[in-house]
């Protein structure tokens, strides 16, 4: 399909700085293989407590878990997301990203800081706030990179060829602006100036800002761009996309305190968190209707469309995970779920099963096009898809079941140590599920590396980018 309007005769491929995108994605694939695997090491200790040794503090649960959590969030997901932004922003704006010469340096700063921060966690240099454990030197580097990238993308988008802004760019602008401000709260204010119950309350906000104002809109950026392009179908409903955007912006900032129900935090704040948690059903359902509607008329091609398979599978996980998240915020339902593996099921189905999987979908679409060739092996990619899908599905099911069993046992007076005996089979199944996911991700990275290293056959045509696909129509009308 030809590009129209001011995009006519624009070579979108030429606008993308492939070296920048490749650098970020190389780092992202490294973290994708390493940091989820730390989760398998941790979960194995639940069944075999001494297999990592008993005298090595660096290999204890309290040190490895923040390495796993921060590594997946800031290493695997965030690195892939930022790399994909350097790919899609120029294509949706019609102009090159400004200060492109800085972008490779930013990738090195981000990833060296990630490595230094994770090593710091292993040796005990931690701020002790969930999703904010990284030491100050890593947080300062993250803040600088996100602030510079925010300026790059905002200025680039302001110079776009068409006045209307496609919804992926709406979410991208919000993601970077919100997170730049959240880093100020979580990195420079919360650990040093807020104490007591107020620290807990603001930590709940900061933690959910990472999840809801960084990871969530970032995931929407990825799927709103790559699903219509990979399915070669226009976005189902632009108005729905804006309903989802504004409801996310209005409701998500208040949900973090739902982690602290029945605590000394003011009852009105807890109730507000419960209400807004339930209202999050609105953005969840609007975006899911949009995603499945976008696939209408294209389901017959679904089996051979690997990026779309990852994106739709992530959407299914999003449906289940967000249903868990909203319902467990209710006071009566939080009683049998809080402090149990039910919460761990929710976090894995959303952070990994949805957003990391969406990032992998964008990666699978983008990577071959950066090298002008087809994916090295569709069969190997399909194996990756099913190993990851079976793994995360199994993990979600066994942790949900095990968590509910834990909660109801505690409510019935079962001693905590006695309750551990009953959940050990669930923990073993969880570890095996994690191994399946890790194998799938490793095969995916191998597939992509072979795609980069293998010279295309002489007669092979160059893989076309989204220029030939229907370009998603802008959502929201002219920029305000």
Indicate the DSSP class of residue 463. Answer: P
DSSP string covering 293-357: HHTTT-GGGGGG-HHHHHHHHHHHHHHHHHHHHHHTTSHHHHTTTTTSHHHHHHHIIIIIIIIIH
- pLDDT of 364 reads 98
pLDDT at res. 399:
97
Along the 480 residues of the chain, how does pLDDT read in single tens digits? Answer: 567 777 888 889 999 999 999 999 999 999 999 999 999 999 999 999 989 987 888 999 999 999 999 999 999 999 999 999 999 999 999 999 999 999 999 999 999 999 999 999 999 999 888 889 999 999 999 999 999 999 999 999 999 999 999 999 999 999 999 999 999 999 999 999 999 999 999 999 999 999 999 999 999 999 999 999 999 999 999 899 999 999 999 999 889 899 889 899 999 999 999 999 999 999 999 999 999 999 999 999 999 999 999 999 999 999 999 999 888 899 999 999 999 999 999 999 999 999 999 999 999 999 999 999 999 999 999 999 999 999 999 999 999 999 999 999 999 999 999 999 999 999 999 999 999 999 999 999 999 999 999 866 533 444 444 333 334 444 443 333
pLDDT at 218: 98
Q: Give the Cβ contact number of residue 59 at 10 Å.
A: 16
User: Residue 459 has what pLDDT?
Assistant: 34
**CB neighbours of 67 closer than 8 A, spacing ≥ 6?**
35, 38, 118, 121, 122
Helix (H, G, I), strand (E, B) or coil at 48: coil
Six token digits for residue 351:
């952070």
Per the CB < 8 A criterion, the answer to whether 93 and 168 are in contact is no
- pLDDT at position 473 is 46
Per-residue pLDDT, 279: 93
Cross-strand pairs, 454 = none
Predicted structure pTM score = 0.94
pLDDT score recorded for residue 480: 31
Q: Which residue has the tokens 């599905």?
A: 393
Question: Cβ(173)–Cβ(153) under 8 Å?
Answer: yes
CB 381 within 8 Å of CB 432: no
Helix/strand/coil (H/E/C) assignment for every residue in 67-81: HHHHHHHHHHHHHHH
Domain limits of the chain? 10-164
Question: Could you count the other beta carbons within 10 Å of the beta carbon of residue 375?
Answer: 18
């Amino acid at each position: 399909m030809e590009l129209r309007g001011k995009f006519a005769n624009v070579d979108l491929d030429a606008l993308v700085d492939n070296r920048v995108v490749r650098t970020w994605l190389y780092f992202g694939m490294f973290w994708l293989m390493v940091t989820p695997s730390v989760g398998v090491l941790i979960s194995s200790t639940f069944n075999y407590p001494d297999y990592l040794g008993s005298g090595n503090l660096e290999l204890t649960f309290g040190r490895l878990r923040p390495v796993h959590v921060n590594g997946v969030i800031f290493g695997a997901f965030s690195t892939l997301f930022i790399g994909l932004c350097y790919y899609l922003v120029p294509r949706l704006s019609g102009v090159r990203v400004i200060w492109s010469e800085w972008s490779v340096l930013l990738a090195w700063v981000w990833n060296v800081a990630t490595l230094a921060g994770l090593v710091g966690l292993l040796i005990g240099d931690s701020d002790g706030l969930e999703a904010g454990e990284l030491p100050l030197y890593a947080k300062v580097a993250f803040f600088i990179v996100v602030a510079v990238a925010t300026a790059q993308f905002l200025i680039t988008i302001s110079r776009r060829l068409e006045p209307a802004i496609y919804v992926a760019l709406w979410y991208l602008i919000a993601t970077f602006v919100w997170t730049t401000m959240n880093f100020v709260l979580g990195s420079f204010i919360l650990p040093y100036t807020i104490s007591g119950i107020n620290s807990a309350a603001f930590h709940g906000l900061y933690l959910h800002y990472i999840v809801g104002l960084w990871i969530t809109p970032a995931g929407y950026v990825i799927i709103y761009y790559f699903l219509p392009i990979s399915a070669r179908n226009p976005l189902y409903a632009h108005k729905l996309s804006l309903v989802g955007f504004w409801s996310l912006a209005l409701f998500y900032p208040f949900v973090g305190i739902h982690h602290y129900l029945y605590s000394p935090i003011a009852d009105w704040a807890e109730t507000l968190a419960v209400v807004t948690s339930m209202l999050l059903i609105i953005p969840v359902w609007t975006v899911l209707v949009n995603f499945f509607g976008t696939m209408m008329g294209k389901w017959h091609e679904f089996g051979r469309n690997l990026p779309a398979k990852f994106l739709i599978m992530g959407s299914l996980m999003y449906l289940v995970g967000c249903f868990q998240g909203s319902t467990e915020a209710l006071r009566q339902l939080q009683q049998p779920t809080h402090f149990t593996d039910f919460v761990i099921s929710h976090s894995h189905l959303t952070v990994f099963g949805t957003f990391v999987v969406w990032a992998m979908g964008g990666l699978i679409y983008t990577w071959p096009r950066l090298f002008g060739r087809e994916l090295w092996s569709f069969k190997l990619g399909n194996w990756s898809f099913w190993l990851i899908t079976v793994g995360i599905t199994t993990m979600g099911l066994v942790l949900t079941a095990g968590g509910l069993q834990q909660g109801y046992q505690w409510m019935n007076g079962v001693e905590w140590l006695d309750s551990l005996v009953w959940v050990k089979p669930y923990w073993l199944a969880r570890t095996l599920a994690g191994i399946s996911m890790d194998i799938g991700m490793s095969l995916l990275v191998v597939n992509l590396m072979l795609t980069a290293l293998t010279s295309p056959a002489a007669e092979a045509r160059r893989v076309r980018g989204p220029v030939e696909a229907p370009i998603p129509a802008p959502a929201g009308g002219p920029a305000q």
